[in-house]
Amino acid sequence: MAEAVSDEPTVAGLIRAKKELNARLKEVEKDHRELTDKLLLGLTGLNAQLRVRCEHEWRRDNHAYADLYCKHCGIWR
* pLDDT tens track for 3-40: 555 678 899 999 999 999 999 999 999 999 999 999 99
Backbone angles phi, psi at 65, to 5 degrees: 60, 30
Comparing CA positions, the residue from 42, 53, 51 lying closest to residue 74 is 51
Instruction: Report CA Rg, the chain.
Output: 26
pLDDT per position as a tens digit, 21-30: 999 999 999 9
Overall pTM > 0.95: no
Per domain, the residue ranges of the chain are 11-70
